[in-house]
């Protein structure tokens, strides 16, 4: 594959394990990729999470001006200019919407019976991230092993998603990571973020590439098929790193 002018990556399960920092090897591969092309990263997390997982792991001389961050599933876009992350856009939910969404999530947990809010959790379960409200079923700081164990066949997340979407017809309700559901404004999803970034950079969608670990049906990356970008599915961060390396040896 020739080197695309823009490569976009999902974060959890693609560049890193869920909520973990980039590995040293991945940080190195990504920083070399940034010297040859533009890179976008799109995920359900908020900006601080991106800085922690990605930016702070990169070598000090990384070409951050070639890196574009799309937190909260593409509801916002940040670029690095004049030594700081500048907001290009952010589609914010109001506090009132956020409170209503939280209420609906709690009711859905009760109705489906798959999640008990009175049981102990690892940190907050519902987080308002400006442009998104996220349910993390076990809490924001739950250990990966517990998260992987909670819903391996996605049945619990699907049940929650269905009921929440039914009760929030004016919002977009998507399965996020291993234990999470993301609620954004209607029409905001990874496809929206991908489109906005291509537009911002003046790169035709078919020239850009999206790399993710959940491009299949109901997967967290599936929305990207609504755009015209090329896609590549990976099975793990290791697989992604090998794929990145394949572009670096071409140079
Ligand atoms: Mg993923």
Q: 21, 58 in Cβ contact below 8 A?
A: no
CA of 181 to the centre of ligand 1 (A): 13
* CB burial readout 71-101, b (16+ within 10 A) else e: bbbbbbbbbbeeeeeeeeeebbbeeebbebb
**Which pLDDT value is given to residue 42?**
97
C-alpha of residue 246 to centroid of ligand 1, in Å: 21
* Res. 78 pLDDT band, cuts 50 70 90: very high
Q: Is 107 helix (H, G, I), strand (E, B) or coil?
A: helix
User: Cα of 14 to ligand 1 centre, how many Å?
Assistant: 6
Query: CA 142 to CA 127: how far, in whole Å?
Result: 14
- How many A from CA of 113 to the centre of ligand 1? 26
Question: How many angstroms separate the alpha carbon of residue 215 from the centre of ligand 1?
Answer: 9
155/161 Cα distance (integer angstroms) = 10
Backbone angles phi and psi of 54, in degrees to 5: -115, -65
**In the structure, what pLDDT confidence band is assigned to residue 206 with cuts at 50, 70 and 90?**
very high
Q: Over range 26-44, report the average pLDDT.
A: 97
pLDDT at 250: 67
For the chain, list the domains and their CATH numbers. Answer: 6-91+188-248 (3.40.50.1000), 95-185 (3.30.1240.20)
User: CA dist 41 to 47, 52, 103, 212, 221, Å?
Assistant: 11, 13, 30, 10, 12
Name which of 239, 231, 235 is nearest 4 in CA terms. Answer: 231
**Residue 117 φ then ψ, to 5°:** -65, -15
Mean pLDDT (whole number) for 14-37: 96
Tokens of 152: 């391996």
Question: How far is ligand 1, taken at its centre, from the CA of residue 235, in Å?
Answer: 10
| Higher pLDDT pick, 224 / 129 | 224
Give 116-139 pLDDT, tens digit per residue: 999 999 999 999 988 899 999 999
Paired tokens of 87: 């907001």
Share of the chain above pLDDT 90, in %: 90
Alpha carbon of 221 to ligand 1 centroid (Å): 7
Report the DSSP pairing between strands 171-175 and 180-185. Answer: antiparallel
pLDDT exceeds cutoff 60 at 189: yes
**Ligand 1 geometric centre to CA of 82 (Å):** 31
pLDDT at 251 over 60: no
Query: Quick one: pLDDT at residue 1?
Result: 82
């Amino acid at each position: 594959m020739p080197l695309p002018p823009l490569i976009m990556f999902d974060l959890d399960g693609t560049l890193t394990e869920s909520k973990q920092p980039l590995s040293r090897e991945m940080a190195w591969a990504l920083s070399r990729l940034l010297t040859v092309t533009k890179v976008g990263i799109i995920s359900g997390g908020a900006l601080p999470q991106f800085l922690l997982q990605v930016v702070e792991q990169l070598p000090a001389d990384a070409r951050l001006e070639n890196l574009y961050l799309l937190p909260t599933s593409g509801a916002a876009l940040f670029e690095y200019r004049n030594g700081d992350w500048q907001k290009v856009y952010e589609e914010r939910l109001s506090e009132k919407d956020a409170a209503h969404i939280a209420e609906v999530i709690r009711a859905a947990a009760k109705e489906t019976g798959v999640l008990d809010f009175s049981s102990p959790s690892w940190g907050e379960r519902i987080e308002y991230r400006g442009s998104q409200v996220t349910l993390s079923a076990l809490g924001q700081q739950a250990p990966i092993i517990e998260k992987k164990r909670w819903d391996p066949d996605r049945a619990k997340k699907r049940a929650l998603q269905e009921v929440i979407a039914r009760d929030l017809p004016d919002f977009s309700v998507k399965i996020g990571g291993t234990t999470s559901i993301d609620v954004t404004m209607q029409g905001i999803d990874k496809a929206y973020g991908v489109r906005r970034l291509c537009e911002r950079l003046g790169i035709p969608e078919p020239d850009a590439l999206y790399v993710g670990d959940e491009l299949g049906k109901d997967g967290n990356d599936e929305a990207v098929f609504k755009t015209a970008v090329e896609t590549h599915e990976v099975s793990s961060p290791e697989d992604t790193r090998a794929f990145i390396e394949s572009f670096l040896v071409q140079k």
